[in-house]
Amino acid sequence: MLDLKYVVANAESVRQNCKNRNVPQDVIDDLDRALALDLERKTLVKQVEEMRRRQNEVAQATGKERDAERRAALVEEGKSLKTAAAHEEEKLRLLDGEIAQRLKRIPNLTHPDAPIGQTEGDSKELRKVGTPRSFDFPVRDHVEIGKALDLIDFETGGKVSGAGFYFLKNDAVLLDLALQQFAVRKLIERGFTPVITPDLARNSILEGIGFTPRGAETQVYSIEEADLSLVGTAEITLGGMLADTVIDEAQLPIRFVGVSHCFRTEAGAAGRASRGLYRVHQFTKVEMFAFTTPESSGAMHSTMLEIEEDLFQALGIPYRVLDICSGDLGGPAYRKFDLEAWMPGRGETGEYGEVTSTSDCTDYQSRRLNIRYRPTGQKGTRFVHTLNGTAVALSRAIIAILENYQRGDGLIDTPDVLKPLIGKDVLGAK
């Protein structure tokens, strides 16, 4: 969430930012309401603190008083002070809660260079890299390929777990594992600490990262009778690792590359349902996460984008880079870049489809998760900046590889960089 002080001091620009971000009107109403409540809060805080000061004073005096009669009088005064304070304190507690609840709905500020716009189409294409290959045979999409080569089994996935689930089989398993290895190794080279995270997390952590565990439009599976949810991304668990800690500046940046399963309900996505592996309820993802000083988050964001590009270049997959527009940014993101890989089997003649995404969340997540650092040689603490980025989302990377590397005989060439990890030059042969 944003800093209340900042919001109060910059109400107009925060309101404009909400509009640029395409948030519903009731969020803007919440902003205005929070501003009004804050004025109330300020006077109430002073009252409550003054009452508590007086209570402390009386309590201390009582302790020191030896004379029984005077002592009894002080106890009486303490009692009445306590009664009087209780009401005001309750009021303050409610007010604090209400302000926080509204504040949480307000999205992060937006990077000045991010394109302003309301829909996906307003995002700015920064560059295209690689040339989609031309095929001299009818192109198949990954669903057909997966079925023909017995690599992906959606029918059985549906039977066992429901629509949106699938079994990976045979060489698809090797491909999945090889991609994980490939990505993790690359990231280790770049100074990231590898981590395999839990697939479940406390709801408080989900909320800190910016997810809404329960409610109508939640994207999250929650565990019955436990305060836990299945994670939609390792961003949740990686960011949560340092919740409620203070880090020495010398330790920064802290970089993790995490592997987790990701679970998404995809509620409300039915209308734009996508074929095959593109939109599924469960997949595996290798995720980057970094904690930095405010000064260096921009540079880290560029690094993450560069790593993502590096991975897809190494895999030999054409892609384009998008600078995501204000209206399409998630709440915590200050700026976001997406990589869209060329998927020859998508649409009529191939289309770009999102495969990775990297966000600079500035201090939006760290404020809620209470992750601070101690600047070298200074008193006090500041909130760190957090960034996340996909290294490889297995489901979608597999789409890109199967479709781009398909051959006329129906089999799949193994991308060169994966050959040593898979041990086969061709995938899908019986």
82 binds RNA (CB under 7 A): yes
Please, what is the minimum distance in Å from the beta carbon of residue 76 to RNA?
Answer: 7
Quote the tokens at residue 173: 């398993």
Identify which of residues 60 and 302 has a Cβ nearer to RNA in the complex. 60
Identify which of residues 94 and 126 has a Cβ nearer to RNA in the complex. 94
Identify which of residues 134 and 378 has a Cβ nearer to RNA in the complex. 378
222 binds RNA (CB under 7 A): no
Instruction: Give which of 341, 293, 345, 350 is closest to 321, Cα–Cα.
Output: 341
81 binds RNA (CB under 7 A): yes
64 binds RNA (CB under 7 A): yes
Q: Which residues pair with 374 in a beta bridge?
A: 248
| Residue carrying the six token digits 């005989």 | 409
Between 171-189 and 297-314, two packed helices, what is the crossing angle to 10 degrees?
140
157 binds RNA (CB under 7 A): no
Identify which of residues 57 and 207 has a Cβ nearer to RNA in the complex. 57
Q: Which of 58, 172, 187, 427 binds RNA (CB under 7 A)?
A: 58
282-292/254-263 β-pairing: antiparallel
CA-based Rg of the chain, rounded to a whole angstrom? 27
CB atoms near residue 182 (< 10 Å): 23
62 binds RNA (CB under 7 A): yes
Size of the site for RNA (CB under 7 A): 29
Show the binding pattern over residues 335-374: x = contacts RNA (CB under 7 A), - = does not.
-------------------------------------x-x
Give me the long-range contacts of 278-283 (CB less than 8 A, separation at least 24). 278/346, 278/353, 278/395, 278/396, 278/399, 279/164, 280/164, 280/165, 280/166, 280/395, 281/161, 281/162, 281/164, 281/165, 282/164, 282/165, 283/393, 283/394, 283/395, 283/396
Identify which of residues 57 and 323 has a Cβ nearer to RNA in the complex. 57
271 binds RNA (CB under 7 A): no
200-202/228-230 β-pairing: antiparallel
Q: Which of 66, 127, 379, 430 binds RNA (CB under 7 A)?
A: 379
75 binds RNA (CB under 7 A): yes
407 binds RNA (CB under 7 A): no
In whole angstroms, what separates CA 112 from the centre of its chain? 21
Residue ranges in 317-336 that form contacts with RNA under rule CB under 7 A: none
429 binds RNA (CB under 7 A): no
Q: Which of 59, 129, 139, 195 binds RNA (CB under 7 A)?
A: 59
Report which residue type is found at 24.
P
Q: Is 264 a catalytic residue?
A: yes
Report which secondary-structure segment, H or E, holds 290: strand 282-292
Set 275, 279, 374, 382: catalytic member: 279
- Contact stretch for RNA (CB under 7 A) within 28-36, 60-68, 99-107, 132-140: 60-68
Set 266, 354, 374, 382: catalytic member: 354
Write phi, then psi, for 355 (nearest 5 degrees).
-120, -30
Q: Is 21 a catalytic residue?
A: no
Report which secondary-structure segment, H or E, holds 315: none
Show the binding pattern over residues 12-41: x = contacts RNA (CB under 7 A), - = does not.
------------------------------
The 8-class DSSP code of residue 120 comes to G
User: What is the SS3 assignment for 238?
Assistant: helix
Please, what is the minimum distance in Å from the beta carbon of residue 350 to RNA?
Answer: 43
119 binds RNA (CB under 7 A): no
CB 33 within 8 Å of CB 94: no
Write phi, then psi, for 208 (nearest 5 degrees).
-60, -40
87 binds RNA (CB under 7 A): no
CB 191 within 8 Å of CB 256: no
Please, what is the minimum distance in Å from the beta carbon of residue 60 to RNA?
Answer: 6
CB 317 within 8 Å of CB 416: no
Identify which of residues 42 and 133 has a Cβ nearer to RNA in the complex. 42
Q: Is 308 a catalytic residue?
A: no
245 binds RNA (CB under 7 A): no
101 binds RNA (CB under 7 A): no
Q: Is 229 a catalytic residue?
A: no
Report which residue type is found at 94.
L
Q: Which of 26, 29, 32, 49 binds RNA (CB under 7 A)?
A: 49
Length of the chain: 430
Give the binding site for RNA (CB under 7 A). 5, 42, 45-46, 49-50, 52-53, 55-60, 62-64, 74-75, 78-79, 81-82, 93, 372, 374, 379-381
Kindly list the catalytic residues. Answer: 264, 279, 354, 357, 396
